[in-house]
Chain A
């Protein structure tokens, strides 16, 4: 996977670059918004990581410029700690995801992976079937090995999100943002509680696990 990293802070750039290279990704680094926009519109990348605060240009404007010039590459914005306003502004400008500094590398990696192999077709698929689990997005009916599984609305949403992003780590923060729409970090085990209740219904009665916990990172949904 080819990744373009636009970041003016050398230390963060090195940190991200090193981590991604260890995952066998090809990383190109641009240190300014102008250079970044140039690379983004000329090269072919699977994901662009764009720092929000760059000298000379606001990352949000840069993203808007890219989107206006028909660059469709998925973009993750990085920003200093802040409220939800920045997040919304970033997403409205055309970014696909938004990550607040300082972030755990595993969090960034999970998001890069989620975006890197995003296939838009799956969004239109009504019935998804993996490892004997069938999820119908129209009727919200879930069965496994022909057995009906009765999920609460939120449990269904978590499962749907996981099943649409199979084989990749989904972090707790991602679930918190996508399922609950919260941008703050709960001290209690909000996400874990709901995931484990869902797993009790989806996995426990059956002999093979579809959802696995990745220690310190999140969850992975995959066929057994």
Chain B
């Protein structure tokens, strides 16, 4: 069972983000709650004011129809003279209004109604009078209207039950929001971070182990195809690539050591022979020639390796320019056709004009040149070789091939590897780096190079993109 390191989880980014997002949610909830409250209260108050307004209007109608006496009579008819707060409260408790008619001229003498609610300001007053009803303090709202110099009306009205109901449920709503939401936020944050932590920790631990001890271990993926699986898959791909490079270096070091050892051993042999033949100038000259030949060999290997390194570093890509591939090939044909001729071989071309690509001209030349030299070296007399350039699905395909001995099936996979030499070419000069250089130049140019199957000779197709990738 996976044990949860509490402290580490609390420190995670996910946990902090979960808390922040929960708090954000809480704030939003509070803000919308407050808005709703304000709106409901406002609506209820509007209703109350509407009712009071209706009440006042009735009195004004009486007053206008029958004068002051009529208004007072109607008032007394409606509401016995109230003398105590308690009586008023009883009326309020029924949800009914209490009112008072005043003589506005004579210091607000009470004409009818209850004097306890008098106010001398026209319009709405702050709700002041409160009384207890059951467990609530009920507020009373008041309205005064001075009709003319003889009459003013003050109406007091208790807040309705709905008003308190709404207020009450909102209050408890907020209460529960706090009581439940905050612990819930912490809990979600924790659970979320614990899960993320667990997934990341698996990846972390695997990577750490691989870091300490490079091996074939890889990050286990779930079937969810989620972002962690993507991360894991990418890391695995990266590790595979690193391992491949690592193996490349290993096989290269072995190749370098082996390929340098042979000519150096020969140099050493010739030097010993020179010591033996020190008094025979004719022999010495021959030995010197041999030593020089072997040393040139070594230098060529080193030069090729440096070249490969330079190509694979990708630095030269920054110097890519538009290159007319068609005329570059025509030019190479012109240079090499006589060489094929001298070797009793035949080189032909079929090149469509005006194909341009983003490329390094020098390296492209070397790519073609390496393939051509291979053909001169490895094909029989009277062999046919060809250079073809054609358009191909938004790009161009360059084919360089011959009808020579071709490549054995067992060698096909490996011919682009460094220092790899097929058995039958071991007797010819060369260092097994030529095709590595060809393939790395193709790679630098985003071009795919394929050795065709089922061909009599060696036929390479190189697919160039004529539209630059950027």
Contacts and interface: CB of A to CB of B under 8 A. Distances in A.
B303 A81 contact: yes
Contact of B373 (A153, A187, A193): A187
Interface in A153-197: 153-154, 180-190, 193-194, 197
A82 interface: yes
A83 interface: yes
Interface string B287-299: 0000000000001
Contacts of A188: 339, 343, 373, 376-377
A172 B156 CA distance: 119
B174 interface: no
Contact of B365 (A82, A182, A193): A182
Interface stretch (B63-71, B92-100, B330-338): B330-338
Contacts of B366: 182, 184
Contacts of B126: none
A102 interface: yes
A214 interface: no
Interface residues of B, dominant DSSP: helix
Given A154-B334, A194-B335, A83 B307 contact: yes
A186 B302 CA distance: 15
A197 B300 CA distance: 27
A124 interface: no
B239 to A, nearest CB: 31
Nearest to B361: A181
Q: Looking at B338, B341, B429, which has the most chain A CB atoms within 10 Å of its CB?
A: B338
Contact of B306 (A81, A154, A189, A190): A81
Nearest to A101: B299
B92 to A, nearest CB: 99
A84 interface: yes
A189 B342 contact: yes
B310 A82 contact: yes
Given A81-B303, A194-B335, A187 B342 contact: no
Nearest to A184: B366
Contacts of A153: 334
Nearest to B332: A180
Interface residues of A, dominant DSSP: loop
Interface residues of B, number: 26
Contacts of A207: none
Nearest to B302: A81
Interface in B357-415: 362, 365-366, 369, 373, 376-377
Nearest to A100: B303
Contacts of A83: 306-307, 310, 316
A193 B338 contact: yes
Interface in A57-110: 81-85, 102
Interface in B419-441: 429-430
B78 to A, nearest CB: 108
Given A81-B302, A82-B310, A185-B303, A154 B335 contact: yes
Interface residues of A, number: 23
B319 interface: yes
Contacts of B429: 187
Contact of B430 (A152, A181, A186, A187): A187
B339 A193 contact: yes
A190 B366 CA distance: 13
Nearest to A179: B335
B365 A85 contact: no
Nearest to A153: B334
A154 B335 CA distance: 8
Contacts of B316: 83, 85
B387 to A, nearest CB: 16
B461 to A, nearest CB: 23
Given A85-B316, A102-B299, A197 B338 contact: yes
A180 B316 CA distance: 20
Given A186-B369, A186-B373, A190-B339, A84 B362 contact: yes
Contacts of A182: 362, 365-366, 369
A184 B307 contact: yes
B245 to A, nearest CB: 21
A80 to B, nearest CB: 9
Contacts of B336: 190
Contacts of A84: 362
Interface in B260-308: 299-300, 302-303, 306-307
Given A82-B310, A85-B319, A185 B300 contact: yes
Nearest to B369: A186
Contacts of B362: 84, 181-183
A194 B338 contact: yes
Nearest to A194: B338
A182 B362 CA distance: 7
A193 B347 CA distance: 15
A182 B335 CA distance: 12
A152 B366 CA distance: 23
A194 B331 CA distance: 13
A114 B77 CA distance: 136
A85 B316 CA distance: 9
A194 B306 CA distance: 29
B267 to A, nearest CB: 14
In the complex, the 6 A-B pairs of residues with the closest C-beta atoms, listed nearest first: A193-B339, A193-B338, A83-B310, A193-B342, A84-B362, A81-B306
11 contacts: A83-B306, A102-B299, A153-B334, A154-B335, A180-B335, A182-B369, A183-B362, A186-B373, A187-B373, A193-B341, A193-B342
